């Protein structure tokens, strides 16, 4: 049973609608438009919204959309056939009204399609019932039933012949020699092992080669044993001489963590001795108060384009004319066959630029659905049309529905007299602590006070790393420059503690001390580690941060999809809330190491529909950028 079937234009005019239930179809259709059609995610023709499954088909020639909705728990096999039949009949019946491309004609037009739709629906339902279920394969039809008893009887005299026939060429020489010499050894004396073997027995080695091979095997066997024994006797002596002396514990007994802790004793608020460091080297050369757009172009690209433009000017007029006319499509509608070769090259190009293989396939499928049936101009090539459509889709993907503006949200939290809490999460070694320090510097440059919560209580040196960053940031923004106000502070409780409890205490401390922002650093964890993912979900559920940022590196390809999908799934599975908190944004690190292979940005944004908030481009505090979608797409499409 269908819930609804609607036909509307891409301009938003509803031409015809069928309601199978009393519930309105406005909400699901608007969700489809907002999440799929506007976001260029048309690779799959189905979309799930709450308890409904929506299937749709695009008519690019007449700019129409056909959408059918039914309950998710139902398995309706006739839906695809129904959409195709309705699409074909509606387009042929009202071709004249639709071809006018006038909004007033569509509004004033009468699309009496109910009786035709009900007829097509009955035919589709009956065709699905008539189709007989596939019968199970019988034993008589299998390969095993064709074997006879005679074929399974083994005859003793035929066994060596079968073995000789089934010998493979890549078997070892030793095995071949032993099998070939076995029949000859029956008639030979037992005291002579090296008997000449004739060529008729299937042995490829001659007598001299066989003797040489056996001699080498004998020498290797006995020589290696002697060498091993001599090496073991020699290696025992140095081990005894260089044996490490056991640690002598004070007053005997077991050692505790205080004995093994060689770091200087520090607590929250205790000032450390500042080291003589180059402040400009730490700070960087760029201004840190305002984020600059990411620039993916280079001077080498400009030189290449200049050099490539010179020989093109020397081409003859005739050759230029033939080159221009090559591949033109003269006022006809595009089909899948026309775009297939171009889309295959585009897909391979995207994968070479580090886009995940599945996402590259879905992008090309979305472009094919967008262009199929579209009428081309006279002087338009298939390659240029597909490339332009792909560029538009990529730019739309990198500009998702929700944009994160941290400064505006922080000022809104200030008016409510509470700290703005940001949690960083990600896998091991992607640069969470380093980019947390960069974001701290950016916030300090905008005159916001920052409290850093050291919730990575697992990795050795994690607290000391944040302590070093806090010291350097305090040197860049001392309290004297801000009226005696402490601008950056580290809240730490050591190692082996509960991260969720430390984050809760840090937020309470920031509220009492009037800090503007709390940046929570968490331990790196792989997406398959269930206990650590449970701990992260607990930290987010208990403290309810304002922003959850996933830190990922730009070097990954297919792994980016796996990481983000499993992080979101783990946060949803291990959360106790009815609407679990997922990832809100992405921090893309190590962007300066990938040249023009910027596909990880597309993979991460496509799989989560979340924006890339920050991009790390270096090792100093000012090496932080905001994403420029057009620059990334230009670098991605560069040959």
Tens of pLDDT along 2-15? 889 999 888 888 88
Whether this model's pTM surpasses 0.85: no
What is the predicted pLDDT for the residue at 415? 93
Query: For residue range 89-136, what is the model confidence (pLDDT) as tens digits?
Result: 988 888 877 776 555 656 666 788 888 899 999 888 888 776 656 677
With a cut of 50, list the residues of the chain below it in pLDDT: 159-203, 226, 228-229, 231-242, 251, 255, 269-275, 298-329
E strand segments, 426-521: 450-454, 488-491, 517-521
Alpha carbon 615 to its chain centroid, in Å, reads: 17
281 occurs within a structural domain: no
Task: Indicate if 386 and 493 belong to the same structural domain.
Answer: no
Backbone dihedral angles phi then psi of residue 3, each to the nearest 5 degrees: -80, -40
Examine the fold and report which residue of 358, 378, 398 is the final residue of a domain before the chain moves on: 398
Q: How many structural domains does the chain have?
A: 3
Choose the final residue of a domain: 348, 369, 398.
398
Same domain, 415 and 393: no
Q: Is residue 324 part of a domain?
A: no
Q: Retrieve residue 203's tokens.
A: 């042995």
- Identify whether 217 is part of a domain: no
Residues 576 and 541 sit within 8 Å (Cβ to Cβ): yes
Q: Are residue 357 and residue 415 in the same domain, yes or no? A: no
Q: From CA 314, how far away is CA 325, in angstroms rounded?
A: 18
CB atoms within 10 A of CB 140: 7
Backbone angles phi, psi at 169, to 5 degrees: -75, -25
Q: What is the pLDDT of residue 261?
A: 52
Single out the residue of 594, 591, 586, 623 nearest to residue 439, CA to CA.
623
Same-domain check for residues 391 and 415: no
> Are residues 516 and 373 part of one domain?
no
**Residue 495 shares a structural domain with residue 372:** no
Structural domain including 586 reads 406-629
373 and 459 assigned to the same domain: no
* Coil/strand/helix, residue 420: strand
Q: Are residues 420 and 558 in the same domain?
A: yes
Does residue 29 belong to any structural domain of this protein?
A: yes
Looking at residue 450, its pLDDT comes to 95
Confidence at residue 323, expressed as pLDDT on a 0 to 100 scale: 47
pLDDT at residue 14, rounded to an integer: 87
Co-location of 500 and 598 in the same domain: yes
């Amino acid at each position: 049973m269908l819930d609804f079937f609607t036909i509307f234009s891409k301009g938003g005019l509803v031409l015809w609608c069928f309601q199978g239930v009393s519930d309105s179809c406005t909400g699901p259709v608007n969700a489809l438009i907002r999440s799929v059609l506007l976001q260029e995610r048309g690779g799959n023709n189905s979309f799930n919204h709450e308890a409904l499954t929506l299937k749709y088909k695009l008519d690019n020639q007449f700019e129409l959309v056909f959408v059918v909705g039914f309950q998710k728990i139902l398995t309706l096999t006739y839906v695809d056939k129904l959409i195709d039949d309705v699409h074909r009949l509606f387009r042929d019946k009202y071709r004249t009204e639709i071809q006018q491309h006038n909004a007033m004609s569509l509004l004033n037009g009468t699309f009496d399609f109910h009786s035709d739709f009900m007829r097509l629906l009955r035919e589709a339902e009956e065709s699905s019932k008539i189709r007989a279920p596939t019968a199970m394969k019988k034993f008589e039809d299998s390969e095993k039933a064709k074997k006879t008893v005679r074929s399974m009887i083994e005859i003793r005299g035929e066994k060596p012949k079968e073995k000789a026939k089934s010998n493979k060429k890549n078997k070892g020489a030793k095995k071949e020699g032993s099998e070939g010499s076995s029949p000859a050894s029956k008639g030979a004396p037992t005291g002579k092992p090296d008997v000449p073997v004739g060529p008729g027995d299937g042995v490829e080695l001659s007598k001299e080669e066989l003797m040489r091979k056996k001699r080498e095997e004998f020498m290797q066997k006995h020589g290696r044993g002697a060498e091993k024994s001599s090496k073991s006797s020699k290696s025992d002596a140095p081990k005894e001489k260089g044996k490490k002396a056991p640690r002598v514990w004070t007053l005997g007994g077991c050692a505790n963590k205080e004995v093994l802790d060689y770091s200087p004793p520090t607590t929250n608020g205790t000032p450390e001795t500042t080291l003589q460091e180059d402040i400009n080297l730490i700070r960087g050369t760029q201004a840190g108060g305002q984020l600059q757009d990411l620039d993916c172009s280079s001077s080498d690209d400009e030189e290449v384009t200049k050099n490539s433009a010179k020989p093109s000017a020397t081409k003859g007029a005739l050759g230029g004319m033939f080159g221009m006319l090559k591949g033109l499509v003269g006022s006809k509608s595009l089909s899948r066959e026309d775009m297939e070769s171009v889309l295959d090259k585009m897909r391979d190009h995207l994968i070479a630029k580090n886009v995940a293989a599945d996402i590259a396939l879905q992008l090309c499928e979305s472009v094919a659905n967008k262009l199929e049936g579209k009428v081309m101009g006279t002087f338009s090539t298939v390659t240029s049309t597909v490339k332009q459509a792909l560029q538009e889709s990529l730019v739309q993907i990198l500009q998702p529905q929700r944009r994160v503006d941290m400064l505006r949200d922080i000022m809104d939290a200030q008016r409510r007299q509470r700290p703005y809490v940001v949690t960083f999460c990600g896998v091991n070694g992607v640069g969470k602590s380093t980019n947390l320090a960069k974001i701290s510097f950016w916030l300090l440059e905008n005159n916001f006070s920052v409290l850093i919560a050291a919730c990575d209580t697992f990795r050795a040196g994690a607290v000391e790393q944040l302590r070093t960053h806090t010291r350097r940031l305090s040197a860049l923004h001392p309290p004297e420059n801000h009226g005696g106000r402490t601008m950056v502070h580290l809240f730490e409780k050591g190692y082996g503690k509960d991260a969720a409890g430390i984050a809760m205490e840090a937020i309470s401390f920031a509220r009492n001390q009037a800090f503007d922002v709390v940046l929570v650093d968490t331990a790196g964890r792989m997406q398959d580690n269930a206990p650590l993912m449970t701990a992260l979900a607990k930290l987010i559920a208990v403290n309810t941060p304002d922003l959850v940022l996933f830190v990922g590196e730009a070097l990954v390809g297919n792994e980016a999809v796996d990481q983000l999908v499993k992080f979101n799934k783990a946060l949803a599975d291990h959360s106790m809330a009815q609407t679990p908190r997922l990832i809100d944004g992405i921090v893309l690190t190590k962007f300066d190491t990938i040249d023009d292979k910027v596909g990880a940005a597309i993979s991460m944004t496509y799989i989560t529909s979340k924006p890339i908030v920050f991009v790390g481009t270096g090792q100093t505090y000012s090496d932080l950028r905001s994403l420029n979608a057009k620059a990334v797409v230009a670098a991605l499409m560069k040959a």
